[in-house]
Amino acid sequence: MEFILSDTENDKEENTIINNLWKHNSQFTPVDIHPLRVIFQDNNQIQGGLIARTWWGGLDIQYLWITENYRKKNIGKKLMQMAEDEAIKRKCHMAYVDTFDFQAVNFYKKLGYEEYGHLSQFAHRHTRYYLSKQLGI
């Protein structure tokens, strides 16, 4: 028996752990994880995008980024709307995201997301917010 502590990435080990966790979870509810990506390009260059997945009726928004030149031009709103519309097509009834106080809390709130929790003291000075929204209402 041995325990291994590491700070290097290992896709094989990570996939083994994730796949076995989902195998266990599938005994209770079928696992239906599907990637969802919305990309914004200009001149064939990625200028922004959203990376998410849908599963168990939820849109799990993991990353949203827009280059500085395109911020405050409704690009983020369009990316979110496209992701939410696709999630509804996939029979999702909710969406959720987390963000830091220096990122996009107010952006998500303007889109109808409501805070359901937060954690303070990231890097001893930032707050991480957890927000959700009902879809298809």
Torsion angle of the four alpha carbons 38, 35, 119, 74, in this order, in degrees rounded to the nearest 10: 10
Can you tell me the mean pLDDT for 70-98?
97
Question: pLDDT tens digit string along 94-121?
Answer: 999 999 999 999 999 999 999 999 999 9
63 neighbors 45 (Cβ within 8 angstroms): no
| Partners of residue 119 on adjacent β-strands | 128
**What whole-number percentage of the chain has pLDDT above 70?**
99
Residue 58: name the closest of 116, 104, 107 by CA. Answer: 116
Confidence (pTM)? 0.89
Residue 136 is predicted with a pLDDT of 85
135, 87 Cβ separation under 8 angstroms: yes
